[in-house]
Amino acid sequence: MYEIKTLNKIATCGTDIFDKAKYTVSDNAENPTAIMVRSAKMHDMEMPESLLAIARAGAGVNNIPVEKCAEQGIVVFNTPGANSNAVKELAICALLLASRKITEAAAWAASLKGTPDAPKTVEGGKSKFAGPEILGKTLGVIGLGAIGGKIANAAVALGMDVIGYDPFLSVNAAIQLDPAVKVTADINDIYKNSDYITIHVPYTPDTKNTIDEAQIAMMKDGVRLINLARGELINSAAVVKAIKDGKVAKYVTDFADDVVLGEENVIVLPHLGASTPESEDNCATMAAHELIDYIEKGTIKNSVNFPNAELAKTGDHLVCVLHKNVPALIAQITSVVSDKGANIENLVNKSKKDWAYTMLDVTGDVDADAFKSIEGVVGVRVL
């Protein structure tokens, strides 16, 4: 029986996917095979020896010690794209909020309650809240993955000119882009030509402060910025200064910090990007399927610390080896099989930066402990 531990409330449409004859799902599992998590902080958590995988029901994995998990042979999954429609819709909303002074106008109108002749006052004061249309304006989209691509396409449908930048644009993502989206190889094209800029990239040390003072200086006067991805991608202090200097007209962010809270022409949302029931259901469902495929078949899909890989079992055993991505290690792995007189029917080896995953379809006897004794191997399973 496999134990699945939940660290947050996970949508039941996801937890119900686990076959009750094979799995137990609870928030107090003592020897979990896998963990499902949303926002719970795991950096100080002691990982049990039984743990094979962690599935984050969402995209960001900043709350998980990803590298530490890799070193312990724990595969970390996320659910890219499961919340993409929710974030896309909020991004379109943010475009309008950044343009039309909607929040300010609504607050002003609400303040008129109980005043004499409010309708007349409204008609006389509405001009203070005029703002530009987005039709015909240029939107720059940094990151054209599952979320950024949908936003780019939606903006085209709304009559905007769209420039996109993504140095890691996949073939699959590219073919899903509207032909009207202009993809540039130079991110500075985004800064120099956009009336609106929205960013949708993962947060890493390399992407911290992607938008800072130098980038803002290249932008059009009156540019409007949107950040629904990660707070650290845009330097809050630089944006607030640019707003006060008149360079940036509006900033809509889904990430509250003391620098932006309460600032004029900054709209701070309470991390609403994926806060829809549909998104939570999609994330939970995808996370559950990822765990089941890995636990039962050894298949890795959407891992952030190990490569995607799958191999069907046609022989007696499917040997799954997590290891460091170093020379000659595959030869040592295959030698363990041949030393036992077994035969490798099929083999898959994939790598991702410092880590690799080797799957062997084997006919004959195998010795799991022999694989574990190889230096650089961090996890072995025989299915």
SS3 state at 217: helix
Q: What is the dihedral of CA 47, 53, 59, 64, to 10 degrees?
A: 10
Q: What is the pLDDT of residue 211?
A: 98
Are 101 and 129 in contact by the 8 Å Cβ rule? The answer is yes
SS3 content of the chain, % helix, strand, coil (to 5): 35, 25, 45
Q: How far apart are the C-alpha atoms of 6 and 49, rounded to whole Å?
A: 17
Phi, psi of 330 (to 5 degrees): -65, -40
Domain spanning 306-383 has what CATH number? Answer: 3.30.70.260
CA distance 132 to 308: 45
Q: What is the DSSP string of 99-168?
A: HH-HHHHHHHHHTTTTSTTHHHHHHHHGGGG-----TT-EEEEE--SHHHHHHHHHHHHTT-EEEEE-TT
- Amino acid 323 reads H
Question: Could you give the CA distance from residue 2 to residue 23 in angstroms, rounded to a whole number?
Answer: 5
Note whether 1-83+275-305 and 84-268 share their fold.
yes
Residue 208 token pair = 């911290």
For residue 309, list its beta bridge partners: 300
Distant-in-sequence contacts of 314-317, Cβ < 8 A, 24+ apart:
314/345, 314/346, 314/361, 315/343, 315/345, 315/361, 315/362, 315/363, 315/364, 316/362, 316/363, 316/364, 316/365, 317/361, 317/362, 317/366, 317/382, 317/383
Beta bridge partners of 187: none
> Are 148 and 141 a contacting pair, CB within 8 Å?
yes
Would you identify the CATH topology of the domain 1-83+275-305?
Rossmann fold (3.40.50)
Question: CATH number for the 84-268 domain, one of 2.40.50.140, 3.40.50.1370, 3.40.50.720, 3.40.640.10?
Answer: 3.40.50.720
Q: Report the Cα 140 to chain-centroid distance in Å.
A: 20
Domain boundaries defined on the chain: 1-83+275-305, 84-268, 306-383
Q: Tell me: the pLDDT tens digits for 295-346?
A: 999 999 999 999 999 999 999 999 999 999 999 999 999 999 999 899 999 9
pTM, two decimal places: 0.85
Q: How is 252-314 classified by DSSP, letter by letter?
A: EES---TTTTT-TTEEE--S-TT-SHHHHHHHHHHHHHHHHHHHHH--B-SBSSS--B-----
Residue-wise pLDDT tens for the chain (383 aa)? 999 999 999 999 999 999 999 999 999 999 999 999 998 999 999 999 999 999 999 988 989 999 999 999 999 999 999 999 999 999 999 999 999 999 999 999 999 999 988 988 999 889 999 999 999 999 999 999 999 999 999 999 999 999 999 999 999 999 999 999 999 999 999 999 999 999 999 888 999 999 999 999 999 999 999 999 999 999 999 999 999 999 999 999 999 999 999 999 999 999 999 899 999 999 999 999 999 999 999 999 999 999 999 999 999 999 999 999 999 999 999 999 999 899 999 999 999 999 999 999 999 999 999 999 999 999 999 99
